[in-house]
Amino acid sequence: MVKNILFVCTENSARSQMAEAFFNHYNRNPEYVGISAGTKPASEIKELAIRVMKEKGIGMEGQKPKMLDLDSAFGAYRVYTMGCIKGCPITPPEKTEDWKLEDPAGKLIEKFREVRDEIDAKVKELVKELSVK
């Protein structure tokens, strides 16, 4: 049975989408799959998020913002919030970790790159940790 690694941010339009894309790009263990959701999903992924991910050679075509629901939150193997833990009351505390990432929304592309690189490093660490289990 596949174990979902759930990444959550408010709009599911930048940080959590980047985390999902990085996880599914790096992960080679078929036991895990990265998914993402938001508490107040936007209508589409932010253009700057798509652009900075393309700079790393990772496309996010086909990804759409999705609503966080109880099934995905409680059914996930692990949950990572992007800095919005207070706004995610339905995530189970025993398997939720907040990565405390700044929201780049409304900021310049440099902030999107900075946040992208933080997510990249955290996801690489997570994939390495999961591959040891």
The active-site residue, picked from 88, 101, 119, 126, is: 88
The active-site residue, picked from 9, 19, 35, 68, is: 9
Q: Is residue 58 classed exposed, middle or buried when 0-12, 13-18 and 19+ CB atoms within 10 A define those classes?
A: middle
Beta bridge partners of 95: none
Is 84 annotated as catalytic? yes
Mapped onto helix, strand or coil, the DSSP state of residue 95 is helix
Query: CA 24 to CA 128: how far, in whole Å?
Result: 13
Query: CA 101 to CA 2: how far, in whole Å?
Result: 27
Q: Which amino acid is at 130?
A: L
The active-site residue, picked from 14, 18, 84, 127, is: 84
Query: CA 58 to CA 60: how far, in whole Å?
Result: 7
Q: Catalytic site residues?
A: 9, 84, 88
